[in-house]
Amino acid sequence: MHDRSSQVAPHRPSLITSVLGLGVFLIPFDVTAVVVALPGIAGDLGFAAAGAAWVIDAYSLALTGALLASGALADRFGRRCAMLAGNIVFLLGSIACGAATSGPLLLAARALQGIGAAFLITGAIALVAGAFPHQSQRARVFGTIGVISGVAMALGPTLGGLLAAWCGWRWIFLANIPFCLTLALAVPRLITETNEPGGRPLDPVGIVLLTLALGLAIDALLRHDASPIMRATGLIAGVATAFGFVRQQWRCLNPVLNPRVFATAPMIGVGASLTALQFGYWATLVYLPLFLSTGLHVSMEVAGVALLAATLPMLLVPLLGGRFVTRWGWRRFFMAALGVVASGDALLVVAALSADATMRSIATSAGMLTIGIGAALANPQLGNIALALAPPAQAGMASAMTMIVRQAGFAVSIAALGAMLKTTDMASAFAAPFILAAVGAIAGVVGAATLFPAAQTEMSESRAEQR
């Protein structure tokens, strides 16, 4: 690794951690804060349910595609440069979102935000290694950044709901401005530039194939007004393009995402569990504010506070996950965690179908709390098992793969649940997407039961075989 300047002063580690953590904070905060404002955005800009889903998916789709490029470009031109460039693009995208006067303009601005977010988070995470060369110190910093990310996910809906209620939904995006300006001023002064000129080459073909595959599938799922033949054609084209991407990466000498990393049963289990969690929790979170508005007749402000039941466990529960994994082993742990998510989704189905207002309120609260607990158990440990299963030389690739699978699964699951939602005018209409969410979580339970090693000893043997 080549350093362009001297190492940072040793008395600044906490300040550097705070700055890098702020860069990571903006990404999950932007997603979860916008979720609560979707009803207001849809009302002002004339979005139907599919259009509201695109407000999230335009961001996620652009983020997923740009992640393939951001790592290679950051290595080549500098990790600090990548973070600063991503910050500028994210800032411009945020301003454009706040100023958007139509649906297409907002979606274009959200895509710009997603591209900036990819470079921002890639640069921030890569800079941790350069700023903290000692393994123990680096582990503590990653732990702190993980807490910061958890705070963003937990408080995003509440703060987003308050902003939307008091100032209007545009201020959810405009509120990013002071944070982005802070990063623009602090990063060059505190953090050393690092790069690897001989790093991985850029793969434009792979970027286009993956983005096109996801875009075709999402568009087909969300085209409620299209004929079944047109939607089926779009889905088939998306799947075919995805296979083309995998084949291209498999045959490439220097793949940006090596499919061989996921070519073992346990790693396939990681991918299946990540996708199941997107269906059972993250995509469900997107539609909960709409359900709260329709089913419980609450304002955006109240919806943001109510969503704490689903997001606050992300701060309180993860530490328990490590203890349960040690006690139960990987297989039983993920079966239990995803089973809890599925149970919460089932409670939401009961809430959607209930005619009694009190019963609906109780089932909704219980369902949100339950999916939050299950997701908080599973989410951190999925990253841990991916790194534990991968050979040491492929740890970076495994980390990148999990990030891509998370984002791609998030985009597709939002579209799939949106395809099941025919109208937002009746609470009972939300039963169909909640059922699909439960099915997705149950599929994750089955995948964990059949693909994961039962204990860490089996995991070590699997890892040794890969070497």
Measured distance CA(145)–CA(13) in Å, rounded = 13
Q: In the CATH hierarchy, which top-level class contains the domain 9-191?
A: mainly alpha
Task: Check residue 77 and give its pLDDT.
Answer: 81
Contacts of residue 200, defined as CB under 8 A and 6 or more positions apart, other chains included, come to 71, 72, 75, 254, 256
Please say if the pLDDT value at position 354 is more than 80: yes
Give the distance from CA 307 to its chain's centroid. 17
The confidence band for 278, taking pLDDT boundaries of 50, 70 and 90, is very high
Q: Which is higher by pLDDT, 241 or 265?
A: 241
| DSSP conformation letters of 264-277 | SHHHHHHHHHHHHH
Strand locations in 190-250 (E):
194-195
- Minimum mean pLDDT range among 107-121, 139-153, 327-341, 446-460: 446-460
Q: pLDDT category, 2, cuts 50, 70, 90? A: very low
Q: How many CB atoms lie within 10 A of CB 353?
A: 16
Residue of 329, 333, 347, 437 lying closest to 378 (CA atoms): 333
- Domain boundaries along the sequence of the chain: 9-191, 204-255, 260-467
Q: How far apart are CA 413 and CA 431, in angstroms?
A: 16
More confident of the two residues 359 and 194: 359
Q: Which fold has domain 260-467?
A: Growth Hormone; Chain: A; (1.20.1250)
User: Which whole number is the average pLDDT over 311-340?
Assistant: 86
Give the DSSP H or E segment for 3: strand 2-3
Place of tokens 């059972």: 280
Q: Is the confidence at residue 242, as pLDDT, over 60?
A: yes
Predicted pLDDT of residue 179: 93
Please tell me the distance from the alpha carbon of residue 117 to that of residue 83, in angstroms, as a whole number.
Answer: 9
- The whole-model pTM stands at 0.83
Highest mean pLDDT among 230-239, 384-393, 432-441 belongs to 432-441
SS3 percent helix, strand, coil of the chain, rounded to 5, is: 85, 0, 15
As a whole number of angstroms, the distance between CA 346 and CA 271 comes to: 23
- What pLDDT shows up at residue 8? 44
Burial state string for 216-236 with b = 16 or more CB within 10 A and e = fewer than 16 = bbbbbbbeeeeeeeebeebbe
Calculate ∠ Cα 75-87-249, nearest 5°. 40
Cα–Cα distances in angstroms (integers) from residue 69 to residues 19, 124, 192, 362, 404, in the given order: 23, 15, 22, 46, 12
> In sequence order, which residues have a C-beta less than 8 Å from that of residue 171 and are 6 or more positions away?
98, 163, 164
Q: Establish whether domains 9-191 and 260-467 are of one fold.
A: yes
Q: What is the pLDDT of residue 344?
A: 97
Residue 228 has pLDDT above 50, yes or no: yes
pLDDT band at 50 (very low <50, low <70, confident <90, very high): low
